[in-house]
C-alpha cells in the first residue's frame, strides 16, 4: 500500500453513495457537511439517511445498483456488506477513471477514509492503513481530547492574524519591483516578510495562557505585536 494523506475539496463535487444502511450513514453526514452533491442508490433507507433526502441534502435512486450508475460522478463510495457489489462498482468506477472507496474492503478502494477529529476549522486525521479500525477509533477519541477550546481558539486567532499579515504583504508588494505572484507574494529577502519560524515562535506559553483564560483580544494584540504586524513597513 502507498497511501498519501490529503484533504480534498469536496464542495460542489458529485458523489455516488451505494447503500442505505448504517455504514452509508457514517459517510453521508461528512459528505454533505463538506458541500458534496450526494446521490444515494439503495432500495431502502434507514430513517437517518432518509432525513437527509427529505431535507434536500441528497437525492435518492430507489433501487439496487445498476451498471452505468457511476457515469458522471466525481467520486464513488460503496457502503454495502456485499463483496460482489463492491467489486462490480469498483471495477466500473476504475474503468471510468473515478476514484472509489468500498467500506471495510481495501481491495476495492482507491483511497481509504481516516478517523477524523474535527472542531471548528481544525481537522486532525488518523489512519492505520485500513488494518485496524478499532485503533483508528481509539486514536480519534484521543485526538478529540486534544482539540480543546484553547486549541480551537488558537486556530481562529492564527487565521485572523494571518489575514492581517497578508494585507500587509500586499501593501509591501504594491511598492516593490521584486514582488512575486502570490504565494509567497514577498521575496525571501524582504525585511517585511514573516518567516514560518517566526510564526512558530509566536505560539508561546503566554499566548496560549491568554487563550486559556478566554482573553482573545489580548492574545490577538500580543500576536500582532510579536510578529511586528503593527510596525511600519520597511522599504527594501
105 and 129 co-located in one domain: no
Domain count, the chain: 3
CATH classification at residue 128: 3.30.160
Would 233 be classed as within a structural domain?
A: no
Instruction: Specify the pLDDT at position 3.
Output: 84
CB 66 within 8 Å of CB 39:
no
DSSP assignments along 2-57, one per residue: ---------TT-EEEEE--SHHHHHHHHHHHHTT-EEEEE-S---HHHHHHHHTTS
Q: Which secondary-structure segment (H or E) carries 127?
A: none
18 and 108 co-located in one domain: yes
User: Which is nearest to 57 in space by CA: 75, 33, 83?
Assistant: 33
pLDDT in tens, 216-225: 999 999 999 9
pLDDT in tens, 40-97: 999 999 999 999 999 999 999 999 999 999 999 999 999 998 889 999 999 999 999 9
Which distant-in-sequence residues (6+ apart) come within 8 Å of 131 by Cβ? none
CB 119 within 8 Å of CB 154:
no
Which range of residues forms the domain containing residue 75?
A: 14-113
pLDDT of 98 > 80? The answer is yes
pLDDT in tens, 12-48: 999 999 999 999 999 999 999 999 999 999 999 999 9
Three-class DSSP category at 130? coil
pLDDT of 139 > 80? The answer is yes
Would 6 be classed as within a structural domain?
A: no
Instruction: Specify the pLDDT at position 189.
Output: 80
Burial class (CB in 10 A: 0-12, 13-18, 19+), 177: exposed
- Measured CA to CA, the distance from residue 155 to residue 158 in angstroms comes to 5
In degrees, rounded to 5, the angle at the alpha carbon of residue 228 between the alpha carbons of residues 179 and 154 is 105
81 and 118 co-located in one domain: no
Instruction: Specify the pLDDT at position 180.
Output: 67
Q: How much is the pTM?
A: 0.80
pLDDT in tens, 164-215: 999 998 888 888 877 667 766 777 788 888 999 999 999 999 999 999 999 9
CB 59 within 8 Å of CB 34:
no
pLDDT of 116 > 80? The answer is yes
99 and 154 co-located in one domain: no
Q: Between 178 and 161, whose confidence is greater?
A: 161
Would 5 be classed as within a structural domain?
A: no
Amino acid at each position: 500500500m502507498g497511501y498519501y494523506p490529503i484533504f480534498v475539496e469536496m464542495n460542489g463535487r458529485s458523489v455516488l453513495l451505494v447503500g442505505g444502511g448504517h455504514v452509508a450513514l457514517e459517510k453521508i453526514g461528512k459528505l454533505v457537511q463538506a458541500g458534496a452533491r450526494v446521490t444515494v442508490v439503495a432500495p431502502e433507507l434507514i430513517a437517518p439517511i432518509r432525513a437527509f433526502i427529505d431535507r434536500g441534502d441528497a437525492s435518492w435512486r430507489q433501487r439496487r445498483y445498476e451498471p452505468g450508475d457511476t457515469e458522471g460522478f466525481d467520486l464513488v463510495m460503496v457502503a454495502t456488506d456485499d463483496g460482489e457489489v463492491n467489486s462490480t462498482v469498483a471495477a466500473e468506477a476504475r474503468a471510468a477513471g473515478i476514484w472509489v472507496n468500498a467500506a471495510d474492503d481495501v481491495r476495492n478502494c482507491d483511497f481509504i477514509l481516516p478517523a477524523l477529529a474535527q472542531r471548528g476549522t481544525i481537522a486532525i486525521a488518523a489512519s492505520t492503513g485500513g488494518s485496524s479500525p478499532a485503533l483508528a477509533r481509539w486514536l480519534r477519541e484521543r485526538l478529540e481530547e486534544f482539540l480543546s477550546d484553547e486549541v480551537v481558539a488558537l486556530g481562529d486567532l492564527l487565521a485572523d492574524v494571518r489575514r492581517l499579515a497578508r494585507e500587509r504583504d500586499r501593501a509591501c508588494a504594491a511598492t516593490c519591483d521584486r514582488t512575486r505572484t502570490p504565494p509567497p507574494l514577498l521575496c525571501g529577502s524582504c525585511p517585511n516578510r514573516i518567516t514560518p519560524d517566526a510564526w512558530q515562535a509566536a505560539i508561546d506559553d503566554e499566548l496560549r495562557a491568554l487563550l486559556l483564560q478566554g482573553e482573545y483580544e489580548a492574545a490577538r494584540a500580543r500576536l500582532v505585536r510579536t510578529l511586528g504586524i503593527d510596525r511600519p513597513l520597511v522599504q527594501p
